[in-house]
Amino acid sequence: MNKLFRMVILGAPGSGKGTISSRIVRDFGLKHLSSGDLLRAQVINKTELGIAAQKYMKAGKLVPDDVMVNLIASELAGLKTSPWLLDGFPRTRPQAEAVHQHEKGVDDVTGEQLVQREDDKPESVKQRLDQYAVNTGPLKGFYRDLGILQEFHGTESNEIWPRVHNYLKSHLTALSGPF
Ligand code: AMP
């Protein structure tokens, strides 16, 4: 049986992680789960979760772990037989542990800060960068200790992307045929 390829992508706000994620799912056929997109859909639909999450999102603060873990767990429950890419989750150690309890063979792709989202207020951007430094950056150690961290550095998405593509191509080809 083919191993299911499952990845999380870590990168600071504005690092181009969204761009790299879309290219990965475009070329490698993984299901893309973006926690920010899932939350924004909840906000638009004015669900209870969306209303509760909105105040954290506006302030650039993290939505509480229990809310996020439930949200992502219910999405992953529907993807038991699919390869997937998690984008924006995990962002904290408890979130990483929650994913890892269920999954093995998680990989990580990181980028560096490149572009500031135009729709962000400066104070919210600062919060998001601080949150990344305090909570999410250290997750690299979590995955490094598990022996499944892969880092990519560069100053723009077009520089990073060929490296990510080549890495995934060689790993995924071995699992499920040419891309
Ligand atoms: P993003 O589009 O990934 O930058 O997410 C937008 C906002 O949604 C973040 O600033 C957080 O407020 C919230 N958010 C997204 N993913 C998470 C997560 N894994 N944990 C906590 N909050 C999150």
Q: Distance (Å, rounded) from C-alpha 26 to C-alpha 31?
A: 10
- The amino acid that residue 124 corresponds to is S
The model's pTM: 0.84
Q: 71 CA to middle of ligand 1, Å? A: 12
Q: Distance (Å, rounded) from C-alpha 80 to C-alpha 61?
A: 30
pLDDT per position as a tens digit, 64-113: 999 999 999 999 989 988 899 999 999 999 999 998 886 654 444 463 33
User: Among the atoms of ligand 1, which is closest to the Cα of residue 13?
Assistant: 4
How many CB atoms neighbour CB 45 within 10 A?
Answer: 10
Q: 90 CA to middle of ligand 1, Å? A: 9
pLDDT per position as a tens digit, 49-70: 999 999 999 999 999 999 999 9
Report residue 12: phi and psi, to 5°: -65, 155
